[in-house]
Structure 1
């Protein structure tokens, strides 16, 4: 799909992006949760961290619902995602969707279990404290997830999930840098019901993995703590079958359980 076509879809969807009359709910095949940790000193409930979390989670939801290039992407991704994320982000290689798709999501399959993510860094792009551009790096583990094509046939997600995915985002902060999203960025819910992007924008998303690189690759996830997926739930081969789906653990830090709209600019 061309960038112009994407722009048309984006404009068509922005007018009714999760209208308040119909609170957002996760698609029924999204049966997994996210558990986030971070480099000491990074606050997962700061505005840029909340936008980073929401972007990565929304992008993966778009993959498992097969809506990355569809006009109804706003129906499935978090409130505010299609407004915040530049449409060109979804047509650029290598991207989140190409790696995470990996042929697994040819149909609307239920995905169970727990995805783990580690926020490695979050900093001003230029090093200038007054700059609005920010770079985020997160490592995502997907080998705590399972899919069910035919109950009770549960299997591991995909081969690239055996190693962490290094996801880099380029964000742009609003002119007013007052924190507005903190109340939305923690709680018992697996997903937000209010816009968790505020006036932030997402200018690029890139994903890399040592599993797909044909050339020597400096893996930014290699020096992190051990894989956070519990050993008894860890898929270590390209294809593993399970007697039941992997457990969906409580999200961390999760999202506010009730709609809390951020302050208007």
Structure 2
């Protein structure tokens, strides 16, 4: 069965990167696939929401317990989640990346028809460490397009070594804040207050290709 983003998830991911970082490179592609899958699983409370290959790329002990949500109620989301790949450093076995996550622009659709923030106006700095396969050319480098998600396994033998939800380098938070497209004072605040209109759902970037056309 072909993978598709869960119906409840109506928000898209938009990525940017610091100069010198190519979002279509193999390491960056795997970082993107992992981060997008992680938040899809968190917001859907289901491992099945993740991209093809996620379960094989992430050791079981490092997965959150996605399939046993504390709050089992159905939730629907709209808006845009901003991700910025700020630092990438090669390691002995793969790559270490610092990723900025701006979820102030993801909103949950309330039972009252109003829209509520998922995150706060403060941007998070996260780190991801990946282990590269012996043959890093085993998968296609094509990893951008108009689609919301990949329909094939883009992890290609790469595996997760560690994902820290908070970066140890405190300077990363200030740096991440400056990488967002919206200044802090105009971001939707998290105050459990309803919004009549949601943050816009922007097109995914760089998105994913139509693999059946490659």
Confirm or deny a common fold (TM above 0.5): yes
**Using the alignment, how far apart are the partners of 2:208 and 2:96 within structure 1?**
23
Kindly name which structure, 1 or 2, has the bigger radius of gyration based on alpha carbons.
Answer: 1
Unpaired segments ≥5 residues, structure 1: 1-21, 68-72, 126-130, 210-215
Q: Which residue does 2:162 correspond to in 1?
A: 204
C-alpha root-mean-square deviation of aligned residues, in Å? 2.6
Q: Which residue does 2:56 correspond to in 1?
A: 83
Detail structure 1 runs of 4+ shifted over 6 Å in the superposition.
230-233
Query: TM-score when scaled to structure 2?
Result: 0.88
Aligned ranges for residues 141-220 of structure 1 at < 5 Å? 141-158=102-119, 161-178=120-137, 180-183=139-142, 185-208=143-166, 218-220=170-172
The offset of 1:241, in angstroms, is 1.8
Asked if the contact 2:117–2:189 (Cα under 8 Å) also holds between the matched residues in 1, the reply is: no
Q: Which residue does 2:20 correspond to in 1?
A: 41
Unpaired segments ≥5 residues, structure 2: none
Query: Does residue 123 in structure 1 map to residue 89 in structure 2?
Result: yes
**Using the alignment, how far apart are the partners of 2:138 and 2:3 within structure 1?**
23
The offset of 1:76, in angstroms, is 1.4
**Using the alignment, how far apart are the partners of 2:126 and 2:2 within structure 1?**
29
Q: Which residue does 1:243 correspond to in 2?
A: 196
The offset of 1:106, in angstroms, is 5.0
The offset of 1:136, in angstroms, is 1.1
Query: TM-score when scaled to structure 1?
Result: 0.72
Q: Which residue does 1:140 correspond to in 2?
A: 101
Query: Does residue 26 in structure 1 map to residue 2 in structure 2?
Result: no
Deviations 1:161-191 (A, max 9, x none): 32112121110111012273321x1000111
**Using the alignment, how far apart are the partners of 1:217 and 1:41 within structure 2?**
21
